[in-house]
Amino acid sequence: MATGEFTIKILTSSQGLRNGEVVIPKPSDTYRILAFGDSFVFGWGVDLSDSWPKLLEKNLRSKGKTVEVINAGAPGLDLESEILVCQAYADQLEIDAIILGFYSTDDLNQVLIREQGTSNEHRIVGTFWPTLSRIKNRFIQPSGAKPGAVIETSSYWKPRAQSFAAFNQDYINSLAPEARKMYLEGKLNPDIISYSTQNPNFLISMLDETTFRKAVNVVDKKLERLKSSCSKDLPVYIVFLPSNDLVSEEFHSYRKGLGFQVSNRLLDFNPDPDLREVAEKNGFAYFSLLDEFRKDGCLDCYYLWDFHLTPVGTKRVADYLTEEILKGLP
């Protein structure tokens, strides 16, 4: 089981992507897939080459396919903002298919927050990955961007953590010592602490059937809009990426150490039938890593204190998706 969390450097392209420069026009023999979603697509915690979109691309090429899988993930996005990403890139990059990474109960919570008019837009746009407020004619441009700009996670996280700690010392002292140390050193995503202070029930909210049903209904509406405003007739794959609290009880003590409420009911929570129904209703394929990760607990797949995937976890995602995506390739 990995810990120590991470410090990574992120190279951004002039097109606003954690990806190499995408060639335009697209080579005639290339099948181009746009993968977008939040930081679980983007790849907090791993190098670009170890993000699952890039590993998926490598796997597909090893099968003889001339495929590009473009990593258009960005930290902090909700489903509404992810539709904007699709609109910004799909036509300009001549996309042939789309993968939407749907991150666990986080995306379910965020669609309700947005629907109820209390959007985290300040966090989504300005705090972490301030690209969505900068949509221009062709591409989302990274903040103050120039080709080859480098972002270091600790430079983002450490000042925010120290500022929060100055006014919330009692809360910081209540954290597990190991987590507190990493947080103040800028090695632990400060949004995790923000979640736990603002809503300690965040992880268990979808266990309420009424709340879950409302969230699924909003997801249905968002997927309808994704189809009508961006994907049109393109193949779309919805990929459910489970959070570690759904996968194994081994992770629950770490969630509690950050101030979250957890329940063993999370280990039986299964949103797949409902999400698959709304995906297929809109003509999209639906794949889930939930059962795949639960079968062995996937204990090396996640950082212990952070929510994000380790290189082992991203490889598991890519390997699982490879055979499924292959079925739809020309």
Helices 79-89 and 104-115, packing angle to 10 deg: 90
Residue 3: pLDDT band with limits 50, 70, 90: low
| pLDDT given for residue 5 in this prediction | 65
The mean pLDDT of 53-65, rounded to a whole number, is 98
Domains of the chain: 9-154+215-250+268-326 (3.40.50.1110)
Centre a 10 Å sphere on the Cβ of residue 23 and count the other Cβ atoms it contains: 12
299 has a pLDDT exceeding 70? yes
Which range has the top average pLDDT, 5-14, 187-196, 299-308?
Answer: 299-308
What confidence tens digit (pLDDT) does each residue in 102-143 have?
Answer: 999 999 999 988 887 644 443 433 333 434 433 433 454 444
Mean pLDDT of the region 33-61: 95
Model pLDDT, residue 4? 57
% of the chain beyond a pLDDT of 90: 65
* pLDDT for res 259: 92
Instruction: Give, as one character, the DSSP assignment of residue 202.
Output: G
Per-residue pLDDT tens over the stretch 139-179: 544 444 444 566 777 777 888 888 988 988 988 999 999 99
- Determine the Cα–Cα distance for residues 277 and 103; give it in Å rounded to an integer: 17
State how far Cα 291 lies from the chain centre: 18
DSSP H stretches of helix in the chain: 39-42, 52-62, 79-89, 104-115, 121, 153-167, 169-174, 177-184, 190-198, 209-226, 244-247, 252-257, 272-281, 290-294, 311-326
| Environment class of 287 (CB within 10 Å of its CB; exposed 0-12, middle 13-18, buried 19+) | buried
